[in-house]
Structure 1
């Protein structure tokens, strides 16, 4: 039975992936920030007739990462076969509205936390001569949308770092894939919208963004969970997997002149009125 560690496994995409992989015969270890969340994850798995083990982890804390990977090594007999770096944080807002503390929190979780966990599991995968690493990127890593700059910055950096990692370790038998979802109906999306500041020069743009998102019909997290499973089970996994209409359109938009993209985004978000 192949073992898979999923960070941020207590809600949204992470939970859907954990339960889905357990149902397909994987030994799943999901990470949680609190004991309460860990207990809810294991209970949800038990209710569905499967088993998911939970390990406490805060990806922003180097000591927590080391302790979690040591515990995972004991559970898996030396280290996991696969790591799904799913834990993430979204702090929306215009460049001027996001504090340095919030910006650091986003990068610490979405970039440095991913790097920590990846670095810690690589030695056991290399000794085994095989393994899979799946990085949860985003449409925000393909096109930088106004009012979402720091999240995009982290995901752009994750895309670059993952490309480098994949090229550096290709001879080791470890396969690395990026998953790039569009709008997905998860707590991170709804909570990110709710945290947008109200009293700011960008208030009208935030309202326009909220209306645009409300008109969309986001996919459920199961769509991404199925893609995670594809990346883990394919004999030759793809380097990138796009999930949803927005991700595919983002790839196409990169072929357009930057001026065209700028004008379109400013118009859609009422930024010409700021």
Structure 2
């Protein structure tokens, strides 16, 4: 098995944990937003596996929790690059070999934020909605090829994505002091480790998606993704919008 990590420290930590679990795992650092680096990494994997991987899990993600007008062009591009473009880039790299073999599996991790957008989550939700749409299209295009495509949508859980979101809430808003106060309150809520489950359930769902003989097209992880997000998305905006604004503390913002 092969795995990638953003930094050398993360790669070393993952390798150490794999050894402790008795797993044969090769870990390398990879910036999924760097096309040449992705090509080189998958060329190495193809060489070591005599053709390329049987399955790919696209689990890289990046989160920002700011008002739409506070998010810079650079940050918006980074969100779309990591959460949307990278998964399709890796799919393009592995699909030719999978088609030739007549089998393969691509599992893309996304978020319920793409279906039920919250205030301060516009750009993050946009990146996840785009990822879900592209995964859906890819699944239809590959029907009959032997390559199966699966989307996993998670809710809130304690991972590096929450840490990304909290960091993004640290600078004051350029809009108003009231929005800055909302950032502070949101950061406090996201920083509470007792409010969110760990990544174990999401990892178990990935395992199910990889090993099931006939995987579902879409899996949802956690109650907020399975029940709350679809319910809220089905409500009229006249009802859901004020509720979301109230929850985020924006109800008094003109």
TM-score w.r.t. length of structure 1:
0.85
Q: CA separation in 1, counterparts of 2:185 and 2:21? A: 40
Q: Structure 1 residues 116-125 or 214-223, which shifts more?
A: 214-223
Which of 56, 62, 69 matches 2:29? 56
**RMSD, aligned α-carbons:** 1.6
Q: CA separation in 1, counterparts of 2:170 and 2:84? A: 24
Q: Secondary structure at the match of 2:204?
A: helix
Q: CA separation in 2, counterparts of 1:216 and 1:147? A: 22
Q: CA separation in 2, counterparts of 1:182 and 1:51? A: 30
Deviation at 1:272, TM superposition (A): 2.4
TM-score w.r.t. length of structure 2:
0.92
Partner of 1:220: 198
Q: Deviations over 1:155-196 (max 9, x none)?
A: 000010111000001110111111111111112202321331
Which of 112, 116, 134 matches 1:139? 112
Q: Say whether the 8 Å CA contact 2:158–2:193 is kept in structure 1.
A: no
Partner of 1:268: 247
Deviation at 1:215, TM superposition (A): 8.7
Q: CA separation in 2, counterparts of 1:37 and 1:212? A: 26
1:235-274 alignment runs, 5 A limit? 235-248=213-226, 249-274=228-253
Q: CA separation in 2, counterparts of 1:135 and 1:72? A: 19
Which of 181, 201, 216 matches 1:204? 181
Partner of 2:103: 130
Which of 102, 108, 113 matches 2:81? 108
Which of 173, 177, 183 matches 2:156? 183
Q: CA separation in 1, counterparts of 2:60 and 2:193? A: 27
Q: Say whether the 8 Å CA contact 1:139–1:181 is kept in structure 2.
A: yes
Q: CA separation in 2, counterparts of 1:184 and 1:87? A: 15
Q: Say whether the 8 Å CA contact 1:91–1:192 is kept in structure 2.
A: yes
For structure 1, the 5+ residue unaligned runs are 1-27
Q: Secondary structure at the match of 2:63?
A: coil
Number of aligned residues: 247
Q: Secondary structure at the match of 2:219?
A: strand
